[in-house]
Amino acid sequence: MRIIGGSARGRKLLAPGRRFGALIRPTSDRAREAIFNILAARVAGATVLDLFAGTGALGLEALSRGAARAVFVDGQRLVTELIESNVALCGFAERATVLHKDLSRGLAFLAAFKPPGGFTLIFLDPPYESTLALRGLEFLAGGSFLAAGAIVVLEDAAAAQYPQTLGPLACFDQRRYGEAGFWLYQQMEAGVP
Mean pLDDT of 36-53: 95
The reported pLDDT for the residue numbered 17 is 64
Domain presence at residue 5? no
The reported pLDDT for the residue numbered 27 is 76
Residue-wise pLDDT tens digits, 140-182 = 998 889 999 999 999 999 999 999 999 999 999 999 998 899 9
Q: How many structural domains compose the chain?
A: 1
Domain presence at residue 44? yes
pTM of the model: 0.92
What is the C-alpha separation between 150 and 189, in angstroms, rounded? 10
Full residue range of the structural domain in which residue 154 is found: 34-187
Query: 185: which DSSP letter?
Result: E
When the pLDDT of each residue in the chain is averaged and rounded to a whole number, the result is 90
Domain presence at residue 146? yes
Whichever domain contains 55, its CATH number is 3.40.50.150
Domain presence at residue 19? no
Domain presence at residue 26? no
Residue-wise pLDDT tens digits, 70-107 = 999 999 898 999 999 999 999 999 999 999 999 988 88
Domain presence at residue 193? no
Mean pLDDT of 21-49: 85
Domain presence at residue 17? no
In the chain, what is the straight-line distance between the N-terminal and C-terminal CA atoms, in Å? 39
What is the C-alpha separation between 125 and 105, in angstroms, rounded? 16
The reported pLDDT for the residue numbered 149 is 94
The reported pLDDT for the residue numbered 119 is 96
Domain presence at residue 14? no
What does the DSSP assignment read for 49-74?
EEET-TTSHHHHHHHHTT-SEEEEEE
